[in-house]
Structure 1
Amino acid sequence: MTLEFFSATDVGRARDNNEDSVALDESVGLAVLADGMGGYNAGEVASQMLTGFIRAELGRWLKEAGATASVGDVRRAMDICVDNANRAIFNAANTNPRYAGMGTTLVLGVFRPEGLLLGHVGDSRAYRLRGGQLTQISRDHSLLQEQLDAGLLTPEEAVFSSNKNLVTRAVGVEDAVMLELHQHEVQPGDLYLFCSDGLSDMLDDDALRQLLINHPSLSEAAQALIDGANDMGGRDNIALVLVRAEGRVRSEGRAWWPFGKR
């Protein structure tokens, strides 16, 4: 199985600066997306610190560990790297008044022969398109999600909620952060979408699904998603990562993977 990656960001139609950030290291199957928050340019600083730190530190570890690293090893490396990045952002926010209160969401994916190790913090999302069906495979860390879980709101009411953008977990706002981390099987033909809420707030799941299905080229799909969000108002910055798995599993049951030697 081989993987194709594409990423893009857009300032949207209501903001002057872009506080979203993405980073890829295709050689080790690494994809990172962050949506910053904070006054002045602090959100931009937080998101760029996070994506740059993870790409450099986790990317280096994955290169050195290679395909011999176990799933448990990779999970621990992801946890440690996010914890270190969190402390760096938290310390910067507490030593520079301009950055006070800054933080960022995170979607972190590591594609391995065993599948996708997906970590996230906040309300940026990960979706999987498989067999024409789009599934959200991350769970928002937000007040709105907690209200939905408690039965205080219906999904229809949630669309109009004023609490839509209140996150309950973010990187850099406290001295420790909990990365929610799960493993997902990857099948040939899967298409994965990581995105900030500048996309998912503007386009519902059915609209995302239709645009992904109608644009088989990753670059064309990315542009169609950005255009769609902007056509609906573009009220926030937009960031996305697309990853497509291609190929067939070998007859003996092992998949070819482009990262390191097996």
Structure 2
Amino acid sequence: MSISPSLIWTGFGLTDIGRVRKMNQDTFSIRDDLQLWVLADGMGGQAGGEIASQMAVDTITQYFETPPPSSNTNNSLQCQDEQHLLQALEFANQAIREKAEQNDAIRGMGTTVIAIRIISGPSGNQAIVAHAGDSRLYLLRENRFTLWTRDHTLMEERLALKLITPDQVRTHPLRHVLTKGLGIEPIVQPTITRYPLEPQDLLLLCSDGLTKMLTDQEIQAAMLKIGIPSQRLCESLITNANRLGGEDNTTVIVIGKERNRTEKTLHSSA
């Protein structure tokens, strides 16, 4: 995949163990050369969470290191892009489940995942986003701040059915119970969506360690105040999450369209 320096979107990421957990079970990968960014959050501090998240990130990244074959079906190229991302998650799901079956100590391990690929075409840049679980993707476009993903949680499903109110969700003891993820079921069913991008867009991927501690309004305020450089923004978000208690591992990736970036990724795995 050849990418013009003037067109490349670049990412910067940080991960932190937090103030409560004894292990960091978050993992992330930044591959600007592939226009691919992946974040995974091992489930709930359970045994094997760090293994599952690392396997998810590694498997998805490796899938795109060798260009996927084009489909022989009549699907459009647009559909093939989504299909490739789905297949990468399917491979990761299978690898995690097979690994768990080999060792009783990690049986049942799982992870959230969110992966984004940016592609260019006649209509401009587009983001293809696949996620399973409660790791999120936010967009800052000028002064508009939008959550581009919907959590795959039990409470989110009840909220959609109007069986519970948003205020009840925020304090419900089951608010972090996931309905989707990698390693949970034999067949993974992620949500895959395509979004048009604008040159000034700023994207934020994060694990729930951030959103447990900071409200959307607080995240938006930090992004508006700091923006680029991404390193300062990542450091600020994690510092604020830890200042408010740091109840979980926190991982953030910021993606923007910048030329001649020289920043380096820090702590790119659990």
Regarding TM over 0.5, the answer is yes
Deviation at 1:39, TM superposition (A): 6.2
The one of 19, 42, 45 equivalent to 1:13 is 19
The one of 106, 110, 114 equivalent to 1:107 is 114
Tell me which residue corresponds to 2:63: 57
SS in 2 for 1:61: coil
In structure 2, list runs of 5 or more residues that go unmatched.
Answer: 1-6, 260-270
Cα distance per residue 1:122-148 (max 9 Å; x no partner)? 111111011212110011100110121
**In 1, Cα distance between the equivalents of 2:174 and 2:33?**
39
Read off the aligned partner of 1:16 and give its amino acid letter: K
Distance 1:89 1:108, change over 3 A: same
Structure 2 residue 62 is the aligned partner of structure 1 residue 47 = no
**Residue 42 of structure 2 contacts residue 53 of structure 2 at CA under 8 Å; is this kept in 1?**
yes
Distance 1:233 1:47, change over 3 A: same
Structure 2 residue 153 is the aligned partner of structure 1 residue 146 = no
Structure 2 residue 103 is the aligned partner of structure 1 residue 92 = no
Cα distance per residue 1:3-51 (max 9 Å; x no partner)? 2210111000001110000011101210000000266640000000100
**In 1, Cα distance between the equivalents of 2:68 and 2:206?**
23
SS in 1 for 2:223: helix
Tell me which residue corresponds to 1:80: 87
Tell me which residue corresponds to 1:36: 42
Structure 2 residue 173 is the aligned partner of structure 1 residue 166 = no
Read off the aligned partner of 1:205 and give its amino acid letter: D
**Residue 110 of structure 2 contacts residue 184 of structure 2 at CA under 8 Å; is this kept in 1?**
yes
Read off the aligned partner of 1:102 and give its amino acid letter: M
SS in 2 for 1:17: coil
Deviation at 1:173, TM superposition (A): 1.8
Distance 1:149 1:64, change over 3 A: closer
TM-score by length of 1: 0.88
Mapping for residues 238-257 of structure 1, pairs under 5 Å = 238-246=250-258
**Residue 204 of structure 2 contacts residue 255 of structure 2 at CA under 8 Å; is this kept in 1?**
yes
**Residue 105 of structure 1 contacts residue 121 of structure 1 at CA under 8 Å; is this kept in 2?**
yes
Q: Hey, which bits of structure 1, 4+ residues long, moved more than 3 A?
A: 38-41, 62-65
Among all aligned residue pairs of Structure 1 and Structure 2, give the percentage whose two residues are the same amino acid.
32
**In 2, Cα distance between the equivalents of 1:70 and 1:19?**
35
**Residue 125 of structure 1 contacts residue 139 of structure 1 at CA under 8 Å; is this kept in 2?**
yes
The one of 231, 235, 240 equivalent to 2:243 is 231
SS in 2 for 1:159: helix
Point out the more displaced range, 80-89 or 149-158.
149-158
Read off the aligned partner of 1:109 and give its amino acid letter: I
TM-score by length of 2: 0.85
**In 1, Cα distance between the equivalents of 2:226 and 2:45?**
37
Distance 1:63 1:29, change over 3 A: farther
Deviation at 1:70, TM superposition (A): 2.7
Tell me which residue corresponds to 1:250: none
**In 1, Cα distance between the equivalents of 2:104 and 2:64?**
29
**In 1, Cα distance between the equivalents of 2:113 and 2:152?**
11
Read off the aligned partner of 1:204 and give its amino acid letter: T
